[in-house]
């Protein structure tokens, strides 16, 4: 497949986001004839998720055409890695650590408390796009188990009854 002119592809996000991604792909300097060009796919998807926040179908198609590979293949790679997500993230990305130390200290109860209060499941986002919940494996702060991170902030030794307060903090923080 040919590398198509990215300007001709359909875009559903602001142009400057695509420009950022295009700049990244240009810097990779991919030879269209190189059968290993697929090897760049994961890097490009990582960058894409960093810029756009998630990897919806439109963006996967964009990346596929940009790299000259089939959309199905991009979709397969996105579905394989836990890191990639096709649902948008909330303004507050709640990550509950499910590593061994956190797990034995009741991380599952923390996670279900978040799910219950926000009315969404892990991997989902609230309708107002304010909160999303994910679980992750070990953030390396086992002495603080169970650990929850929200955006860049770390909450340690979280108990189920703290969860409501943590969510309220976020809302207060947003108003301030």
Binding-site residues from annotation for [2Fe-2S] cluster:
97, 102, 138, 142
**Distance of alpha carbon 91 from alpha carbon 53, whole angstroms:** 10
Closer residue to another protein, CB minimum distance, 42 or 141: 42
- For residue 21, how many other CB atoms are within 10 A of its CB? 22
* Pick 75 or 126: Cβ nearer another protein: 75
Q: How far is the CB of 44 from another protein (least distance, A)?
A: 16
Residues forming contacts to another protein in the complex (CB under 8 A) are 2, 57, 60, 69-76, 79-80, 86
What's the burial of 52, exposed, middle or buried (CB within 10 Å: 0-12/13-18/19+)?
buried
> Which residues have a Cβ under 8 Å from the Cβ of 63 and sit 6 or more positions away?
21, 41, 44, 45, 48, 74
Binding positions: 97, 102, 138, 142
Question: Please, which residue, 22 or 75, has the CB nearer to another protein?
Answer: 75
Q: Which CB, 63 or 96, lies closer to another protein?
A: 63
Residue 165 Cβ, how far from another protein at the closest point, in Å?
36
DSSP label of 89: P
Closer residue to another protein (CB): 66 or 145: 66
In the complex, minimum distance from the CB of residue 60 to another protein, in angstroms, rounded to a whole number: 7
Rounded CA gap, 119 and 27, in Å? 42
Give the shortest CB-58-to-another protein separation in angstroms: 12
User: Which alpha helices (H) appear in the chain, and where do they start and end?
Assistant: 15-28, 41-52, 57-67, 71-80, 100-104, 107-118, 163-175
What minimum distance in Å lies between the beta carbon of 2 and another protein?
A: 7
């Amino acid at each position: 497949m040919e590398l198509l002119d990215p300007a001709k592809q359909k875009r559903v996000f602001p142009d400057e986001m695509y420009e950022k991604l295009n700049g990244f792909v240009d810097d990779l300097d991919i030879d269209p004839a190189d059968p290993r060009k697929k090897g760049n796919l994961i890097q490009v998807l990582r960058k894409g998720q960093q810029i756009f926040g998630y990897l919806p179908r439109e963006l996967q198609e964009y990346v596929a055409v940009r790299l000259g590979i089939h959309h199905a293949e991009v979709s397969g790679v996105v579905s394989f890695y836990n890191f990639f997500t096709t649902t948008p993230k909330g303004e507050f990305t709640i990550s509950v650590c499910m590593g061994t130390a956190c797990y034995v200290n009741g991380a599952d109860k923390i996670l279900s408390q978040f799910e219950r209060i926000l009315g969404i499941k892990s991997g989902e986002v609230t309708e107002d796009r304010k909160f999303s919940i994910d679980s992750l494996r070990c953030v390396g702060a086992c002495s603080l188990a169970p650990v929850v991170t929200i955006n860049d902030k770390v909450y340690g030794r979280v108990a189920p009854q703290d969860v409501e307060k943590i969510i309220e903090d976020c809302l207060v923080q947003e108003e301030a």
